[in-house]
Amino acid sequence: MITQDAKDQARKDTLEHIDKVRSLLLTVASALIERGHKHDASKLKEPELSLFAEWGPKLKQMKYGSDEYNHALAKMGRALKSHYEQNRHHPEFHKNGVDDMNLIDIIEMVCDWKASTLRVQGGNFRASLEHNQKRFGLSPQLTSIIANTAELFEGKTTKLQW
């Protein structure tokens, strides 16, 4: 038979575990909030400001991943490279691309991809993800995780399911 002391200890241990998990989740949430405040701030100063003032309206008219779009990115040159070098949510920031990213980087990247699809002609997150899987060498597993997460953006998942 299980004693009351054993049950009390189990409750105490569980509450300590819950508290540790809560603390870690708050650390992640704080990091995400900070990323939200600082996202793409480098675009607000030179050389990026002029670059995006010129190319932003043009990119909005192009299909993401098209030859025309990729050609435009190539023309953006050094200023775009500067943007990637200052923003770790871009795979280009890292020596080994996505493989060197942490989960906070990945979450910001996915949110960036979704927001970007909302401002380009014919934006489609699923098509963008398929293109980016090839572009950045995403594993099938990570691609599935991102697709599952995208359901939050699409309103398909609104509640936690236990």
Domain extents in the chain: 33-153
Between CA 14 and CA 5 the distance in angstroms is: 14
Per-residue pLDDT of the chain (162 residues; tens, 9 = 90+): 999 999 999 999 999 999 999 999 999 999 999 999 999 999 999 999 999 999 999 999 988 888 999 999 999 998 899 999 999 999 999 999 999 999 999 999 999 999 999 888 788 999 999 999 999 999 999 999 999 998 888 776 555 443
Question: pTM to 2 decimals?
Answer: 0.89
Structure tokens at 61: 């008219």
Spatial distance between the Cα atoms of 98 and 47, rounded to a whole number of angstroms? 25
